[in-house]
Amino acid sequence: MDETQHDRLDLSSAAHAGSTPEIPQPPAAPSVAQGGTPVPGSKLSAEELEQLTADIVAALKTVYDPEIPCDIYELGLIYKIDIEDDRNVLVDMTLTAPGCPVAGEMPIWVENAINSVPGVSGAKAKIVFDPPWDKSRMSDEARLALNMF
């Protein structure tokens, strides 16, 4: 295993598509023992990780695609969130279309939103196009807001 332990929240599965996503719960990290006691070398307890994840998701829900009146989280544009022990956050995200006019700006918006979360030491958003986004990735909330059933 690499020197930096981290927890990964993968939102690219079909389980995220088509339903209102709840605040995701990250898998138990190998760096955290039962009961939330950090294992030597870990910097986050299970409780801290859970709260940080909830705060990051809340921050992501403040970022909107300017052409679609729905936040990027509910649109299903966030594919993966990695929270490293040093509280750096790495995000894989996509766009509704490869030619999106804000392709250069949206990752910066995501990074700024995550960096505003107390306890985050840094954020990096990476645009990916695999798997390609389609409307099946949208939550029920987004489908209702956009009248897309």
pTM score, two decimals?
A: 0.72
Query: Looking at domain 6-14+28-146, does it have CATH number 3.30.300.130?
Result: yes
Q: What are the domain boundaries of the chain?
A: 6-14+28-146
Return per-residue pLDDT of the chain as tens, 149 residues. 444 445 556 665 444 444 333 444 333 333 333 333 333 445 788 899 999 999 999 999 999 988 888 999 999 999 999 999 899 999 999 998 888 888 899 999 999 999 999 999 999 999 999 999 988 899 999 988 888 86
Give the total residue count for the chain: 149
CA distances for 118 relative to 13, 59, 113, 122, 149, angstroms: 28, 11, 11, 11, 37
